[in-house]
Chain A
Amino acid sequence: MLQRYVGLVIKDILTAFRNYFFVVVVGVALLFVGLTNFLIPEELSLKPSVYYLMEYDGEMKPIIDQMLEETKRKHSNVYGVGSIEEIESGMEKNFNSLGMVIREMNKKPHITFILQGHENEKVTNALILSMKDDLRNKLQGSMEVKTIFLNQEKEIEKIPFRHTMIPIFIVMESILLGFFLIAALIFMEKDEGTLRAYLVSPGTILEYLASKITLMLLMGCISAVVLVVPTLGPSVSYFWTLLFVALGSIAAAILGLLIASFFDNISQASVWIIVIAILLSLPFMSYYFPSFAPTFVKMIPTYPLLFAAREILFPTGSTGIVYTTLLGLAIFSILGYMGAVAAYRFSIRRD
């Protein structure tokens, strides 16, 4: 059985090699290395740009000026302008921006926030509160509220923006490779009659599917190594990274197998493979804005995968998400593999 499995794996590696799969996988990973190291900015703020107009000249002016200067030093996207028209034209060009006009009214400062119009009430409240708090701290001194960090064992460093994209690539490319490619392998062999020929040999469907999954695992690991070594270097735990990518690739390949089992040819399957790939990309918003976590987004498998990938590559001590995700992937892989074997046995009998 083991001999047959090894034979199948070698055959699948050769097929993939002849069809330039390895070239594509390595090429795409290298392209992303280039983007990460040379094109994506090291720091990029996803916070809204602020255009402000300061027309207030009363006694609180030095405090407000100081506060604005400090904010400008901290954030590169805060701009002082000379008129309300300039604020509005800047905001029209950039949907992720807001305006602020500081004037005197009834002998005290009056701050008008100009928003786009799509912001919700809670965000607006937080904006006003934030400004009020900064002013209060300047006037009355800061009052610390006791904060307890559950992961105190290590200093958490800020991840450079360009590196925040690496977990996305690991999940969408290295892990989901198999999701795309395994269906193509199966349909090709079905069309060429290889599958039919294989079934009259002593080989079983168990080994046949396991060999395809192994190829996907191998390509996933190659893609991850080619990406991670030149971008993050030796600081990463390669054991956990490869274990994560291996289990993720197995699960993704099994998902691809299960979906492909519903269709007769690759044209039909490709529509749904693309649609599911789009759905799998919805959790990106939560990845960049982690407080956005509606239940249905959390139910999409890439949600835990993204956060687990981030934790493995940039550890913060939150190991729970890594273990839970690895366990989830292992359970899905076992059940999914059993389901895939049953589905392909049924589909072969039907044909």
Chain B
Amino acid sequence: MRRIWAIFRRDLSSSFREFILLYMMVAPIILALIFRFFVPSANSAALQFAVDGRIGSDVIGRLEQYGSVEIYRDRAELEKRVRGADDIAGITKDGSGNFQIILEGNEAHDTKVIPQKIIRDMISPQNIDVDFSVRDLGYTRSPVARIGAATLILTVLILAGAVIGFNMIEEKDGHTLNALNVTPMRRFEFIIGKSIIGMLLPLAMVYLILWILDIWYINKGMIFVMTLVSSSITVITGFLIGAMSSNQIAGIANMKILLLPLGASVIGALMLPPDKQVFVYWIPTYWSFLGFDGIMKNSLTWGQIGVYAAWILGLTCIMFLLFRGRMKKGFV
């Protein structure tokens, strides 16, 4: 225990000295603040219209019901705007007062079709005899905020893992590991001692991120369990980077490879059809992502948390067993 504590204290003081701990705390906060700024604009995203100013304020008012409107002085300016990288529909009138829609040609379906519908609705002589109403299920929380928060939490976990890994490479470079190998310290003491920062830091940061993103309504106990379980990913990431890399350059290459499954797990969970998600089951961060997302949706039971936790711990154990030999060699 004393040796574990000594390794942890040594890591802590070197991380403080080199500002790494400070960076690791500040960086996710900056990301969370930027994200907080990003979420409202993502939520209010709608169509964009570039309008010839001479078209009249009543038409502009009507278009504003469906999207954001930018007003231009003449047709040339309007066309220049339509040619921009984003999707925006230009709306003007020809010499005889008929509406004209100006498009670049590569716009998404809605940008091509909705302006037509708006104009038809404005000029149509008759209304149709159908009533409409709207109600909702009460999920007012934006999925963008939820998905962003879950991704940010995974980033913190991987970031902590990367720092553990690079600390280890530096120790290898400085031959500290060789020195430690001839002390009475056992391998598991070294592993636990090295893992403490990687486990404690995400625990603190996750709550801070959720608070900054105003996702504070969640079950904090579930978040605690999910973060604690997911920090096993941090530890395995750190040890994989540390053991597999003979120097920093190889460390960066390995980190790049390890970032790929992280990206694949998030994209897979969001974009793959349910029957194809089986291809990302092997990635522990996939289960973490589902867990954090579900907790933020308030749709998970403790039983489901248990299932996700079992997947994460099971997969990290399998990885540890698979790479055990490589890790042993890497630290000799």
Cβ contact within 8 Å between B140 and A184 = no
Residue A113 lies at the interface, judged by CB distance under 8 Å to chain B: yes
Cβ contact within 8 Å between A117 and B252 = no
Cβ contact within 8 Å between B23 and A147 = no
Complex alpha-carbon distance, A120 and B110, angstroms: 16
Contacting residues of chain B (61-116) with chain A, CB-CB under 8 angstroms: 65-67, 79, 82-88, 94, 98-108, 110-116
Residue A202 lies at the interface, judged by CB distance under 8 Å to chain B: no
CB distance from A303 to the nearest CB of B (A): 7
Residue B240 lies at the interface, judged by CB distance under 8 Å to chain A: no
Q: B123 to chain A: which residues have CB within 8 Å? A: 143
Cβ contact within 8 Å between A292 and B45 = yes
Which of these, B103, B117, B126, B155, contacts A148 with CB under 8 Å? B103
Q: A271 to chain B: which residues have CB within 8 Å? A: 20, 23-24, 27, 159, 162-163
Complex alpha-carbon distance, A28 and B263, angstroms: 13
Complex alpha-carbon distance, A109 and B44, angstroms: 30
Q: A28 to chain B: which residues have CB within 8 Å? A: 256-257, 260
Q: Of all chain B residues, which has the CB nearest A304?
A: B85
Which of these, A31, A279, A316, contacts B105 with CB under 8 Å? A316
Cβ contact within 8 Å between A108 and B86 = no
CB distance from B30 to the nearest CB of A (A): 7
Cβ contact within 8 Å between A88 and B137 = yes
Per-position contact with B for A275-292: 1 when CB-CB < 8 Å, else 0? 101110010011001111
Residue B19 lies at the interface, judged by CB distance under 8 Å to chain A: yes
Q: Tell which of B24, B99, B117 has the most Cβ of chain A within 10 Å.
A: B117
Complex alpha-carbon distance, A20 and B138, angstroms: 52
Q: A292 to chain B: which residues have CB within 8 Å? A: 41-42, 45, 86
Complex alpha-carbon distance, A105 and B107, angstroms: 38
CB distance from B284 to the nearest CB of A (A): 18
Q: A126 to chain B: which residues have CB within 8 Å? A: 46-47, 66-67, 110, 114
Contacting residues of chain B (250-268) with chain A, CB-CB under 8 angstroms: 250-253, 255-257, 259-260, 264
Q: B151 to chain A: which residues have CB within 8 Å? A: 278
Q: Tell me whether A151 and B45 are in contact in the complex, defined as CB-CB below 8 angstroms, given that A39-B279, A266-B166, A268-B18 are known contacts.
A: no
Contacting residues of chain A (107-139) with chain B, CB-CB under 8 angstroms: 108-120, 122-126, 128-133, 135-136, 139
Cβ contact within 8 Å between B253 and A181 = yes
Contacting residues of chain A (43-93) with chain B, CB-CB under 8 angstroms: 44, 60, 88, 91-92
Q: Total interface residues on B, using CB and 8 Å?
A: 107
Q: Total interface residues on A, using CB and 8 Å?
A: 103
Q: Tell me whether A275 and B31 are in contact in the complex, defined as CB-CB below 8 angstroms, given that A115-B137, A146-B94 are known contacts.
A: yes
Q: B42 to chain A: which residues have CB within 8 Å? A: 285, 292
Cβ contact within 8 Å between A318 and B133 = no
Q: A191 to chain B: which residues have CB within 8 Å? A: 173, 248
Residue A21 lies at the interface, judged by CB distance under 8 Å to chain B: yes
CB distance from A122 to the nearest CB of B (A): 4
Cβ contact within 8 Å between B19 and A268 = yes
Q: Tell me whether A140 and B126 are in contact in the complex, defined as CB-CB below 8 angstroms, given that A21-B253, A291-B47 are known contacts.
A: yes
Binding site of B, secondary structure by majority: helix, strand, loop or mixed? helix
Residue A96 lies at the interface, judged by CB distance under 8 Å to chain B: yes
Q: B128 to chain A: which residues have CB within 8 Å? A: 132, 135-136, 139-140
Complex alpha-carbon distance, A112 and B137, angstroms: 13
Q: B144 to chain A: which residues have CB within 8 Å? A: 285
Binding site of A, secondary structure by majority: helix, strand, loop or mixed? helix
Cβ contact within 8 Å between A108 and B87 = no
Cβ contact within 8 Å between B103 and A150 = yes
Q: Of all chain A residues, which has the CB nearest B297?
A: A95
Q: Tell me whether A112 and B135 are in contact in the complex, defined as CB-CB below 8 angstroms, given that A126-B114, A180-B252, A320-B83 are known contacts.
A: yes
Contacting residues of chain B (119-163) with chain A, CB-CB under 8 angstroms: 119-121, 123-124, 126, 128-144, 151-152, 155, 158-159, 162-163
Residue B189 lies at the interface, judged by CB distance under 8 Å to chain A: no
Residue B118 lies at the interface, judged by CB distance under 8 Å to chain A: yes
Residue A231 lies at the interface, judged by CB distance under 8 Å to chain B: no
Cβ contact within 8 Å between A117 and B133 = no
Complex alpha-carbon distance, A293 and B174, angstroms: 48
Q: A110 to chain B: which residues have CB within 8 Å? A: 130-133
Residue B232 lies at the interface, judged by CB distance under 8 Å to chain A: no
Which of these, B139, B256, B299, contacts A24 with CB under 8 Å? B256
* Residues of B near any A CB (own CB < 8 A): 18-20, 23-24, 27-28, 30-31, 34, 37-38, 41-48, 65-67, 79, 82-88, 94, 98-108, 110-121, 123-124, 126, 128-144, 151-152, 155, 158-159, 162-163, 166-167, 169-170, 173, 247-253, 255-257, 259-260, 264, 271-273, 276, 279, 297, 299
A-B pairs with the 6 shortest C-beta distances? A293-B86, A184-B252, A290-B87, A122-B46, A316-B106, A117-B136
15 sample A-B contacts, Cβ–Cβ < 8 Å, listed by A number = A109-B129, A120-B45, A124-B134, A126-B114, A131-B132, A136-B120, A150-B82, A150-B103, A151-B104, A271-B162, A274-B158, A291-B110, A291-B111, A303-B85, A318-B106
